[in-house]
Chain A
Amino acid sequence: MSLQAYADARDQAVIEIMQTDPRVLLIGQPLLSLERRTNRIVETFSRDRIWSNVPIAETGMVGAAIGAALVGLRPIVSLGTGSFAFNAWPQLVNELPQFSYMTGGQVSVPLVLHLNGGARGAGAPQHSHSPEAMLMNTPGLKIIMPSTARDVAGLLRTAVADDNPVVFIDHVLLHEIPGPVPDEPESIPLGSADVKREGRDVTIVTAGFMVHRVLLAAAQLEGIGISVEVVDLRSLTPLDIDSVLDSLARTRRLVTVDETQLTCGLGAEICTQVAERGFDLLAAAPVRVGVPNTPIPFSPPLEDAVVPQVDSIVAACRRVVEQPARLRH
């Protein structure tokens, strides 16, 4: 094990993947970070492999990655900011996910689309989107949302090896967070949630950067006698609802935390699936912590008011735990 920053582990994984497989090329902004990090990917490869001098043309860029994948390459295409996914929307939701299905399986499209999603701080309404809920609503796309250095390396290896399109929801606030990474390259299967903290009283289901805020909230709650289990989904499609139900069988109380809007958001989907498949497990009504149905405002206090914070997560857990247990029939 070694300790690495999230972005370093991510870039190292990409370098190893590209060194092993000549079919992998990088199109677009090479996994850009907001900070002035040295980009080791760009330093390692020639311009044959890194097609970063691309015109600002997201529809064209994603379409080009699709075409390259269709004839046998395995591109990683990076649009930088998650909100820019909307500039590629026609290709991203009405071409890419349909190929395998609409051709009756004649082709599949093995590409990875990298987006820095979420509120990164002062992104204002047009650079702060969390498009993962809309993309979950699009059959044919897989979605990974790793939260740690170990997970990002392991999930990226699986994503590039996958024959299907995989959207990689990154977050610039993750990039400097250090974590242990195994010395031997590791592949983590998609659809396997990970319990990041064990607990007895309430299960928080989350993913991506929010995992870290949830862990801070869990530490605070421990101080007031509430034991929190943290389930990190790691991938949203496929969605490991079984692990969520396993955890709820122990805690019987559910809070979801994510940066999508409450309406039809990630939390809404988790609560729905739990209600359908695990209604009798619940001792109390679940609570969603997400972005209220507003855009993300620029002003720092306003941004904090709508994006889940440690305080709002703590408050949600208290509400769920303080509800009297619903009787089982």
Chain B
Amino acid sequence: MPELQAVDTQPLTPERHRELFRRMLLIRRVEERIAERGIAGDFPGHYHVYIGQEATGVAITALMESGDTLVTTHRNHGHVLAKGGEPGRAFAEILGRDAGYCHGKAGSIHVSAVELGVISASGIVAGSIPTATGAALAYKYGNSFPDLKVHFPSARRPRPAGDAPALQGRLAVAFFGDGALNEGAWHESAVIATWWKLPIIYVCENNDSVPYDPRKAKMSGTTLATHAAAYGMMADSVDGTDLEAVWTQFQVAAAHARAGGGPFFLESRTVAWPGNRTTFPSLPLGLTDLQHAWEPPAEREFATWYAHDPVLKQARRLVDAEWLTREEVDAIDIDCRAIAAEADRWAHEQPYPPDERAFEHVFSVPILEDRPEGPSQ
């Protein structure tokens, strides 16, 4: 097991606390809108939301540096928004509209935004883990070739503007759920990343709700962190409902990986959000009522959720510390609701992609075979 170096972690300033709370609340309000639309059958296909995990994504993305890359999963909306994604374009993608980040070809399960460093959103459990490991391999390669500057290869023309960045010193962050640890892709990547000491943080978001499996991740006699530690990587667990805890622990992980210590496995434990029980999430508690931060409902069934909802927890913390008044919390909420409503409205106004889009981007430059031809046309 590698040694962990002491790290001077930077505390969250009151200003940063407020800013990140706002970001968490924005994700919550947008996700609630998406769930409402999904429940109403407003878009086809199944979908997943990030409700209950906002503190993890927001703290970690705020600490990522320009040039670091993030790979995400079927629960990508929160990560894209935490990275500063436009709610309207994300919403448009979920609705299958041309203005979406991926021209409507990805849908809810696969929203990626390369301009934000979100280079992949695999809808396959553990699918993104090998990819992220490869980005880390490129960053390690960059240590040997510090002058090498590369662009993201893009199938869209023209290529993104700006100077190509160096590979050296960058970090890959892979988000995935606890269920992914049962997949072979995780095992193979863990072996490779530890063997080559790659600069990657494996963020395992244990949201206490493995789909299809009420008994949760089927791992006997071990916690997730000890499971990862068996590969010889640094591993730790953090309360993923607590913004400040994730903020602190991720700095330790990132410093370790950036310094060449190899991969770091960070389990972020959150409590099960009651709406998360199926691939078609519902809103059994309705929209989040911020008053519940101080006056939770009396019924005991959802007491754990109200105690550990990361958004309510952060609101309580800010008001207790007198960094915000309850009136200011409400004002931020009104703002976030308005942004979510506008994203929803704007996305619905966007047209569906023209049929030609179906034949674009199979390859970076179309080849004849991309289109049907001959008598069957």
| 8 Å CB contact of A25 from B103, B130, B141 | B141
Once A61-B192, A71-B138, A95-B122 are accepted as A-B contacts, the answer to whether A105 and B127 lie under 8 Å apart by CB is: no
Binds B, one of A52-60, A180-188, A193-201, A257-265: A52-60
Chain B residues whose C-beta falls within 8 Å of the C-beta of A65 in the assembled complex: 134
Which A residue's beta carbon lies closest to that of B69?
A71
The CA of A142 and the CA of B137, in the complex, are separated in Å by 24
Q: Is the CB of A69 within 8 A of B106?
A: no
User: Can you list 15 A-B contacts with CB-CB less than 8 angstroms, sorted by A residue number?
Assistant: A22-B145, A57-B187, A63-B133, A67-B135, A72-B151, A73-B141, A100-B155, A105-B103, A106-B156, A107-B155, A108-B155, A140-B362, A163-B155, A163-B365, A237-B367
Once A66-B130, A140-B363 are accepted as A-B contacts, the answer to whether A105 and B156 lie under 8 Å apart by CB is: yes
Which residues of chain A from 141 to 161 have any CB-CB distance to chain B below 8 Å in the complex?
142
Q: Is the CB of A276 within 8 A of B376?
A: yes
Per-residue CB contact flags for chain A residues 39-68 toward chain B (1 = under 8 Å, else 0) read 000000000100100110111111111111
Chain B residues whose C-beta falls within 8 Å of the C-beta of A164 in the assembled complex: 363-364
Interface centre among B106, B119, B134 (most CB of A within 10 A): B134
Q: Is the CB of B167 within 8 A of A71?
A: yes
Give the 9 A-B CB pairs with smallest separation, nearest first.
A63-B130, A67-B134, A72-B150, A60-B188, A104-B103, A57-B188, A64-B134, A104-B102, A105-B155
Chain B residues whose C-beta falls within 8 Å of the C-beta of A104 in the assembled complex: 100-106, 156, 357, 360-361
Chain A residues whose C-beta falls within 8 Å of the C-beta of B119 in the assembled complex: 70-71, 107
A277 interface residue per 8 A CB criterion:
yes
B314 interface residue per 8 A CB criterion:
no
Q: Is the CB of A68 within 8 A of B141?
A: yes
Once A73-B150, A107-B153, A163-B364 are accepted as A-B contacts, the answer to whether A95 and B124 lie under 8 Å apart by CB is: yes
B25 to chain A, nearest CB (A): 28
The CA of A94 and the CA of B109, in the complex, are separated in Å by 14
Size class of the A contact interface (CB-based, 8 Å): 35 or more
Q: Is the CB of B138 within 8 A of A67?
A: yes
Chain B residues whose C-beta falls within 8 Å of the C-beta of A55 in the assembled complex: 188, 191-192, 195
B136 interface residue per 8 A CB criterion:
yes
B3 interface residue per 8 A CB criterion:
no
A263 to chain B, nearest CB (A): 20
B251 interface residue per 8 A CB criterion:
no
A179 interface residue per 8 A CB criterion:
no
Once A68-B135, A72-B152, A140-B362 are accepted as A-B contacts, the answer to whether A99 and B130 lie under 8 Å apart by CB is: no
Which B residue's beta carbon lies closest to that of A72?
B150
Q: Is the CB of B134 within 8 A of A69?
A: yes
The CA of A23 and the CA of B144, in the complex, are separated in Å by 12
Once A55-B195, A62-B130, A90-B127 are accepted as A-B contacts, the answer to whether A139 and B138 lie under 8 Å apart by CB is: no
The CA of A51 and the CA of B134, in the complex, are separated in Å by 12
B71 to chain A, nearest CB (A): 8
Residues of B within 8 A of A (CB): 69, 71, 100-106, 110, 112-115, 119-120, 122, 124, 127, 129-139, 141, 144-145, 148, 150-156, 164, 167, 172, 184-185, 187-189, 191-192, 195-196, 357, 360-365, 367-370, 374-376
The CA of A297 and the CA of B100, in the complex, are separated in Å by 51
A208 interface residue per 8 A CB criterion:
no
Chain A residues whose C-beta falls within 8 Å of the C-beta of B135 in the assembled complex: 67-68, 70-71
A65 to chain B, nearest CB (A): 6
The CA of A72 and the CA of B154, in the complex, are separated in Å by 9
B360 to chain A, nearest CB (A): 7
Which A residue's beta carbon lies closest to that of B151?
A72
A109 interface residue per 8 A CB criterion:
yes
The CA of A226 and the CA of B265, in the complex, are separated in Å by 67
Interface centre among A27, A48, A51, A67 (most CB of B within 10 A): A67
A291 interface residue per 8 A CB criterion:
no
Q: Is the CB of A68 within 8 A of B137?
A: yes
A191 interface residue per 8 A CB criterion:
yes
Q: Is the CB of B130 within 8 A of A238?
A: no
A76 to chain B, nearest CB (A): 13
B358 to chain A, nearest CB (A): 9
A101 interface residue per 8 A CB criterion:
yes
Q: Is the CB of B106 within 8 A of A102?
A: yes
Chain B residues whose C-beta falls within 8 Å of the C-beta of A94 in the assembled complex: 124, 127
Once A71-B119, A100-B363 are accepted as A-B contacts, the answer to whether A95 and B127 lie under 8 Å apart by CB is: yes
A239 interface residue per 8 A CB criterion:
yes
Q: Is the CB of A23 within 8 A of B361?
A: no
A118 interface residue per 8 A CB criterion:
no
| 8 Å CB contact of A73 from B138, B154, B185 | B138
The CA of A23 and the CA of B147, in the complex, are separated in Å by 11
The CA of A107 and the CA of B106, in the complex, are separated in Å by 13
A286 interface residue per 8 A CB criterion:
no
Q: Is the CB of B105 within 8 A of A102?
A: yes
Q: Is the CB of B138 within 8 A of A68?
A: yes
Q: Is the CB of A71 within 8 A of B361?
A: no
Once A72-B152, A107-B114, A107-B119 are accepted as A-B contacts, the answer to whether A67 and B105 lie under 8 Å apart by CB is: no
Which B residue's beta carbon lies closest to that of A74?
B153
Chain B residues whose C-beta falls within 8 Å of the C-beta of A71 in the assembled complex: 69, 119, 135, 138-139, 150, 152, 167
The CA of A61 and the CA of B195, in the complex, are separated in Å by 12
Q: Is the CB of A72 within 8 A of B153?
A: yes
A48 to chain B, nearest CB (A): 4
B231 to chain A, nearest CB (A): 11
Chain A residues whose C-beta falls within 8 Å of the C-beta of B153 in the assembled complex: 69-70, 72, 107-110, 163
A93 to chain B, nearest CB (A): 11
Once A60-B192, A73-B138, A108-B153 are accepted as A-B contacts, the answer to whether A90 and B131 lie under 8 Å apart by CB is: no
Chain A residues whose C-beta falls within 8 Å of the C-beta of B71 in the assembled complex: 67
